């Protein structure tokens, strides 16, 4: 579930656990992710102290005392599993209801798809990514922003200096739909399919509207909606941070609060229940589902 808020939550969890720790052991089990991992990754990580973390868009950066940073992107299916070493993994069934756990049964065996495992004296961290759409690289810390994956990223939506004027300027002249534009990481870094839909709903803007027509007051509404939905989602994730160290890797429970995402046919939370609301509609844009309320979003 990795869009900006999830990545932020995971990064905060990792930061709380690992900052100051020394990497004792590295196991590279599957180097063929979307981009091949550096051959000598394990050697370059081993023995390094972890100085801190940073997020950029949907990317996480773990900074090391060697002057290098480990870049992690979780792709579609990536998760981080963390547990304290020497402590048995608690049963996944202990997770909160709705956290799509159990299934694999009691005392779940070592989970598959653990492509990279990093251990400190205290922690064991595994990167799990069944679909292998995620990305990992190691690069000089001083050149983080010049990395090919980060170089083209647009501004951080939560940055104070990201204003409605800048958003309008970025949208001007773009003939694609506003939904497509919001998914373009060069325009804005961190929104994905869910939060793009949620932000447009909050702003009362149709996902089909031409991007260039979103300016002025409309752009201001959209920007406020983007910031609000991301901030609330991070707060929801942050509030469950202590649950972060669970074997199922679930973080946050914001999904209970989606107003439109994956709610096709359900009543729009903003329409009066009485007559005309036909409910949330699903359309496909660029091959991806978009959910919206045709009555309140124009």
Query: Which CB sits closer to DNA, 217 or 284?
Result: 284
Residues of span 214-243 touching DNA by CB under 7 A? none
Verify binding: residue 25, DNA, rule CB under 7 A: no
DSSP string for residues in the chain: --SHHHHHHHHHHHHHHHTT-B--EEEE---BSSSBPPTTHHHHHTTPBEEEEEEETTEEEEEETTSEEEEEE-TTT-EEEEEETTSPPPPGGGSPTTS---SS-TT-PSPS-EEEEEE-SSEEEEEE-TT---EEEEEEGGGGGGSHHHHT----TT-TT--HHHHHHHHTT--SBHHHHHH-TTTSSS--HHHHHHHHHHHT--TTSBGGG--HHHHHHHHHHHHHHHHHHHHHHHHTGGGGSSTT-----GGGG-SSTT-TTSPPTTS-SSSS----EEEEETTEEEEE-TTT--
Q: Does 213 bind DNA (CB under 7 A)?
A: no
By CB under 7 A, tell whether 194 contacts DNA. Answer: yes
Q: Which is nearer to DNA, 95 or 120 (CB)?
A: 95
Residue 147, interface with DNA (CB under 7 A)?
no
Segment contacting DNA by CB under 7 A, of 60-68, 82-90, 240-248, 282-290: 282-290
Q: Identify whether 143 is a catalytic site residue.
A: no
248 binds DNA (CB under 7 A): no
112 binds DNA (CB under 7 A): yes
**In this chain, which of 51, 149, 224, 241 binds DNA, going by CB under 7 A?**
149
Residues that bind DNA (CB under 7 A): 1-3, 6, 34, 57-58, 73, 75-77, 100, 103, 112-113, 130-133, 149, 152, 173-177, 180-181, 183, 185, 192-194, 211, 255, 286-289
């Amino acid at each position: 579930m990795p869009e900006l808020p999830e990545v932020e939550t995971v990064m905060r969890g990792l930061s709380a656990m690992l900052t100051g720790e020394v990497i004792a052991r590295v196991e590279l089990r599957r180097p063929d992710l979307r981009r091949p991992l550096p051959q000598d990754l394990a050697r370059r990580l081993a023995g390094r102290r972890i100085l801190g973390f940073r997020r950029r868009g949907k990317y996480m950066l773990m900074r090391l005392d060697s002057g290098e940073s480990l870049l992690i992107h979780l792709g579609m299916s990536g998760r981080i599993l963390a547990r304290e070493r020497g402590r048995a993994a608690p049963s996944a069934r202990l997770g909160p209801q709705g956290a799509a756990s159990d299934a694999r049964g009691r005392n779940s065996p070592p989970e598959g798809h653990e492509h990279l495992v990093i251990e400190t004296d205290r922690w064991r961290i595994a990167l799990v990514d069944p679909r292998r759409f995620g990305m990992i690289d190691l690069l000089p810390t001083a050149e983080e922003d010049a990395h090919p994956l980060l170089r083209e990223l647009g501004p951080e939506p939560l940055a104070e200096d990201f204003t409605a004027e800048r958003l309008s300027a970025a949208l001007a002249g773009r003939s694609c739909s506003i939904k497509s534009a919001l998914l373009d990481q060069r325009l804005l870094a961190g929104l994905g399919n869910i939060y793009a839909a949620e932000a447009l709903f909050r702003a009362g803007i149709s996902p089909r509207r031409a991007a260039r027509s979103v300016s002025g007051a409309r752009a201001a509404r959209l920007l406020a909606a983007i910031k609000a939905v991301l901030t609330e989602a991070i707060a929801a994730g942050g509030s469950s941070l202590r649950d972060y160290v669970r074997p199922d890797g679930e973080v946050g429970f914001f999904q209970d609060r989606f107003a439109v995402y994956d709610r096709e046919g359900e009543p729009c939370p903003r329409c009066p229940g009485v007559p005309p609301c036909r409910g949330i509609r699903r359309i496909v844009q660029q091959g991806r589902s978009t959910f919206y309320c045709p009555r309140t979003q124009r």
